[in-house]
Amino acid sequence: MRLPILTYHNIGDAPDHAALPKLYVSAPAFERQCRMLSRLGMRGVSIGEALAGLREGRRGLVALTFDDGYLDNFNTALPILRDYGFTATCYVVAGRIGEYNVWDASKLNVRKPLMTAAQLRMWRAAGNELGSHTLTHPNLTELDAESLQHELVASKAALENLVGAPIKHFCYPYGEESPRVRRAVAAAGYESATSTRRGLARTYDDPYALPRISINGGKGLLRFALKVATPYAAFGGSGAA
């Protein structure tokens, strides 16, 4: 069994001055991708449901994950997800809710607004999931033990207080992790963590180093279909779709 875990950031058109336009998937492209999944008999679901399905041997599931918690995930992606009966997980930077991408705005040449607390509650009320992406989006491998624990534990607690439900899943900022960081994530009470390692998740993978497929703007539907519906991503294919 193999599980595609897709990574998105922004759903919308990249500004002309954006340093990394590949982080944007246009709304029409995202809608076409959801339509293709549906036509292939596949269903987009949260990471929690997808991992449960992987353990149970259920086929046809694709985990949809959004990193950082951008406002366009709520305004643009959510209506499309609803149209197809899909759900998704948004990995939230818990200390920046309602603000913007402080951690990389200058590098990307774009200040991108993040969802507010009320919008995150509505995201979850619509059947979607929240996961933690730390408090402030640091490189966790550079933190001392106390700071690392704070980023993991305090972000989990903040999101649990926000939605009144357990936060079980985590995503490494920048994909940076190590055995020490993975142990800390497990000790903080998370059940899984996603990385930027390319590939398809399998039942025997380390649950704290799950691979994903990065869905980047400007690629065609054929490439997308190869990534999600064939073993292509597991055999040396680029993580970017």
Instruction: Return the CATH number at 228.
Output: 3.20.20.370
Residue 234 has pLDDT above 70, yes or no: no
pLDDT digits (tens, 9 = 90+) for 8-24: 999 999 999 999 999 99
The reply to whether 120 falls in a domain is yes
Residue 67 has pLDDT above 50, yes or no: yes
The reply to whether 239 falls in a domain is no
Instruction: Name the domain count of the chain.
Output: 1
The reply to whether 241 falls in a domain is no
pLDDT digits (tens, 9 = 90+) for 90-129: 999 999 999 999 999 999 999 999 999 999 999 999 999 9
Q: Measured between alpha carbons, how far is 226 from 241 in angstroms, rounded to an integer?
A: 9
The reply to whether 191 falls in a domain is yes
pLDDT band of residue 233 (cuts 50, 70, 90) is low
Predicted local distance difference test score (pLDDT) of residue 223: 87
CA torsion 232-7-45-38 (nearest 10°) is -60
The reply to whether 125 falls in a domain is yes
Residue 196 has pLDDT above 50, yes or no: yes
The reply to whether 240 falls in a domain is no
Q: Measured between alpha carbons, how far is 167 from 29 in angstroms, rounded to an integer?
A: 30
Q: Which domain holds residue 131?
A: 2-234
Which one-letter amino acid corresponds to residue 75? N
The reply to whether 162 falls in a domain is yes
Q: What angle do CA 212, 23, 156 make, to 5 degrees?
A: 60
The reply to whether 160 falls in a domain is yes
Phi first, then psi, for residue 127 (nearest 5°) are 100, 5
For 152, counting Cβ atoms within 10 Å of its Cβ (0-12 exposed, 13-18 middle, 19+ buried), the class is buried
User: pTM here?
Assistant: 0.94
